[in-house]
């Protein structure tokens, strides 16, 4: 760990009257691995955008090696050695791997002509540094997410980066891929590169971060070495309060299943999935991205018709071929991507809430009953405790948490019997998270069967009384309420989720021992 190479002084920025960053002072040292932690909306991404030249600050400065780089645009930052790998990876799908990796370098070298051989050489060299081989001429759109990330890293390296920012790099990766990534990062550190992880998921990063800087509400709350923090104190600094979620216990006595899934399969997505959902159940569907959870949920919602197995609702086999049919069977889905699938951004809260239930708001003359619509919206906004009570507010102006409340509220208006929530608290502040968890508990307690899809063990533990772990399309393991009560279960679940391969072996081994008559 060497001298500071990046120094931010009194950095502030506002957007339309809202202060996003307030007097930030921090420094990044050479060969340091830093973690920028904070809840969504805390300002971490905004900080990175200023450092990388995308935004110009309203006040303050950023200097690298003593010379200022703020307010000069991306090229200046890149020349100073700043590289950012955004969450969307910023790759060009229509261009080849080699071009994506080498383009930035060639541009900055001032080449006007495309030299194929040089591009391939650069690409090959950087991929070697990353330690992986990829087909150079393939279009980037054909790669897996993990490989795309490696291409993004290779591109960043080609620019003689001195500071590499990585925004939420581990979200879409399997354990092995995460391990590979962290190994690469340590490699890079040993060569003098500074790496800044931006994350609110810290399990992996804790292992390698030297320092952790915490943002909250646009302020820098603390600057700690990794040794000084643990998960609890970290959470405390990020959120400003000690958070522990109340767990859910199923109180209902009724054993009749609302929903039965038997041997359900969809080629390419998942196969042989079976489970029952009773009144008051909150079933956790967990596993990493790509395990087939969302695909399963979409099947239950009519957007991904399964090609094998059966679905029974209220004991009767049903075929769900469209969202309308699903809704007629009483199924509700709060989708994974709130912004593109769940909300009408430029419409008011009122119109969003009524969007699902317009039919029931039609008066005698088949016209929309404005008064009924209004009261529904007002009731929902109060029920769900949306901060902004003005139902004419456009939902795109609400915070993530409030937006999600509107989405959940609009589904509650349909009085569903089966409620599926796919990654419901992604990108949501801590306060709203708590409220949404409470809401989920209340829904279940009233007799609704709930399914929560999540890859955060804490969320699963707090909300579910049964858990299904999926991996590569099959059910890896299942747990009941008794298992969940065990104190070490959280860690156990975390391990299973992040390292499903090992668990498969373990499970297979267990099966073999059972078969041979030994007890576990």
Partner 1 sequence: MNSIARLVARDKNLSVLVVMTAVTLIVLITLLGGRFLSAGNLQSMSSQVSEFGFLALAMGLAMLTAGIDLSIVSAAVLSGIVGATVMSGQLVPVTASNSNTLMLVGILAALVTGMLCGLLNGLLIAKISIPPILATLGTMILFTGIGMVITNGQSVPIAISSYSALGAATVANIPIIFILMVAAFLVVGFMLRRTRFGRRIYLFGENDVALRFSGVRNDRVIILTYVTIGLLVGLAAVIMVSRVNSARVGFGESYLLQAILVVVLAGFNPYGGRGRVVSVALGLILLQSLQSAFTILQFNPYVKNLIWGSMLLLVMVVNYYVARWNPRGAAPATGPGTTTAIPPESAPSAAAETHRAADAVTTGGRAL
Partner 2 sequence: MKTSPFRAVFNRPSTAMEKYLLAIIIGYIVIVALKNPLFFSVETLFDMLRSGSGVMILAIGVLIVLVSGGIDVSFTAIAVVSGYTSVKLMLALGIDNILFAFVVSIVVGCLLGAINALIIYRFNLPTLIVTLGTASAYHGLMATVLGTKSFPTAAMPQSLVNFGSTDLIVINSDTGRYGLTVFLPIVIAVLVLTWFILYRTMLGRQVFAVGSNEESASRLGINIFRTKLFVYAYSGALSGLMGIIYFSELKYVNPVSLVGTELMIIAAVVIGGAKLTGGEGTILGTILGIVVVQLFQSTLVFLGLGSSWNDLFFGAVLLISLGVMYYRQRIQDRKNLVFATA
Q: Are 218 and 55 in contact (CB under 8 A)?
A: no
In three-state secondary structure terms, 14 is: strand
Each residue 31-70 as x (binds partner 2 by CB under 8 A) or -, in order, gives ---------------------x-x----------------
Beta pairing partners, 167: 198
C-alpha span between 326 and 313 (Å, rounded): 10
- Structure tokens belonging to residue 184: 């690469």
Could you tell which of partner 2, partner 1, none binds residue 393, using a CB distance below 5 to 8 A set by kind?
Answer: partner 1
290 binds partner 1 per the rule CB under 8 A: no
Could you tell which of partner 1, partner 2, none binds residue 15, using a CB distance below 5 to 8 A set by kind?
Answer: partner 1
Element (H, E) at 352: helix 349-354
**CB 121, min distance to partner 2, A:** 16
State which residue, 234 or 326, has the beta carbon closest to partner 2: 326
**CB 356, min distance to partner 2, A:** 17
458 binds partner 1 per the rule CB under 8 A: no
Q: Are 13 and 175 in contact (CB under 8 A)?
A: no
Choice from 112, 191, 364, 366 touching partner 1 (CB under 8 A): 366
Which of 446, 441, 447, 487 is CA-nearest to residue 465? 441
Beta pairing partners, 6: 28, 64
Three-class secondary structure assignment of 240-295: CCCCCCCCCCCCCCCCCEEEEEEEEEECCCEEEEEEEEECCCEEEEECCCCCCHHH
C-alpha span between 121 and 127 (Å, rounded): 10
What one-character DSSP code corresponds to residue 446?
T
State which residue, 271 or 498, has the beta carbon closest to partner 2: 271
State which residue, 101 or 421, has the beta carbon closest to partner 2: 101
Which of 242, 206, 213 is CA-nearest to residue 227? 206
State which residue, 160 or 392, has the beta carbon closest to partner 1: 392
Number of residues that bind partner 2 (CB under 8 A): 32
State which residue, 297 or 476, has the beta carbon closest to partner 1: 297
State which residue, 355 or 513, has the beta carbon closest to partner 1: 355
Q: Of the listed pieces 99-107, 255-263, 403-411, 470-478, which binds partner 2 according to CB under 8 A? A: 99-107
C-alpha span between 248 and 90 (Å, rounded): 40
State which residue, 73 or 314, has the beta carbon closest to partner 2: 73
- Structure tokens belonging to residue 210: 């030297």
Pairing verdict, β 219-225 and 211-216: antiparallel
Choice from 104, 347, 374, 474 touching partner 1 (CB under 8 A): 347
371 binds partner 1 per the rule CB under 8 A: no
Choice from 358, 379, 502, 514 touching partner 1 (CB under 8 A): 358
In three-state secondary structure terms, 314 is: coil
Could you tell which of partner 1, partner 2, none binds residue 427, using a CB distance below 5 to 8 A set by kind?
Answer: partner 1
Contacts to partner 1 by CB under 8 A: 15-16, 18-20, 40-41, 43, 45-46, 86-88, 168, 171, 217-218, 301, 303, 322-324, 326-327, 333, 335, 337-348, 350-351, 355-356, 358-359, 362, 366-368, 390, 392-394, 396-400, 426-427, 429
């Amino acid at each position: 760990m060497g001298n500071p190479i990046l120094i931010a002084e009194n950095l502030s920025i506002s957007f339309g009257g809202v202060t996003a960053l307030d007097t930030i002072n921090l420094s990044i040292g050479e060969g340091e691995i830093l973690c920028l932690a904070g809840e969504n909306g805390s300002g971490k991404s905004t900080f990175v955008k200023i450092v990388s030249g995308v935004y110009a600050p309203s006040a303050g400065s950023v200097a690298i090696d003593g010379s200022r780089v703020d307010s000069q645009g991306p090229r200046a930052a890149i020349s100073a050695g700043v590289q950012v790998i955004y969450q969307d990876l910023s790759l060009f799908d229509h261009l080849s791997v080699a071009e994506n990796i080498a383009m930035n370098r060639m541009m900055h070298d001032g080449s006007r002509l495309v030299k194929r051989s040089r591009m391939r050489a650069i690409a090959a060299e950087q991929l070697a540094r990353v330690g992986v081989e990829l087909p150079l001429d393939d279009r980037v759109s054909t790669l897996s997410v993990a490989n795309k990330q490696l291409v993004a890293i290779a591109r960043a390296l080609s620019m003689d980066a001195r500071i590499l920012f990585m925004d939420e790099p581990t979200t879409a990766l399997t354990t092995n891929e995460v391990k590979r990534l962290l190994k690469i990062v340590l490699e890079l550190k040993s060569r003098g590169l500074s790496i800044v992880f931006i994350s609110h998921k810290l399990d992996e990063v804790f292992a390698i971060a030297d320092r952790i800087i915490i943002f909250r509400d646009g302020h820098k709350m603390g600057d700690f070495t990794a040794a000084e923090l643990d998960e609890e104190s970290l959470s405390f600094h990020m959120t400003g309060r000690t958070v522990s979620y109340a767990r859910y216990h199923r109180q209902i006595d009724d054993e009749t299943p609302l929903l039965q899934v038997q041997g359900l399969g969809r080629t390419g997505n998942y196969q042989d999935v079976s489970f029952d959902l009773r009144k008051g159940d909150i079933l956790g569907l967990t596993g990493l991205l790509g395990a087939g959870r969302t695909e399963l949920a979409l099947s239950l919602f009519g957007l991904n018709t399964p090609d094998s197995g059966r679905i029974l609702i209220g004991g009767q086999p049903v075929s769900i071929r469209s969202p309308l049919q699903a809704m007629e069977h009483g199924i509700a889905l709060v989708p994974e991507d709130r912004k593109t699938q769940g909300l009408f951004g430029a419409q008011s809260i009122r119109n969003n809430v009524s969007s699902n239930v317009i039919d029931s708001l039609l008066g005698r003359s088949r016209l929309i009953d404005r008064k009924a619509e209004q009261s529904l919206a007002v009731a929902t906004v109060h029920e769900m405790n949306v901060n902004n009570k003005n139902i004419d507010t456009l939902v795109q102006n609400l915070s993530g948490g409030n937006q999600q409340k509107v989405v959940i509220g609009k589904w509650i208006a349909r009085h569903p019997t089966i409620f599926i929530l796919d990654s419901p608290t992604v990108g949501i502040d801590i306060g709203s998270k708590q409220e949404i968890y409470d809401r989920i508990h209340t829904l279940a307690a009233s007799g609704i069967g709930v399914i929560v899809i999540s890859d955060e063990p804490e969320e699963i533990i707090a909300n579910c009384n049964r858990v299904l772990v999926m991996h590569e399309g099959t059910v890896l393991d299942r747990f009941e309420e008794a298992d969940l009560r065990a104190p070490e279960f959280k860690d156990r679940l975390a391990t299973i989720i992040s390292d499903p391969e090992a668990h498969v072996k373990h499970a297979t081994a267990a099966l073999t021992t059972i078969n041979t008559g030994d007890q576990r």
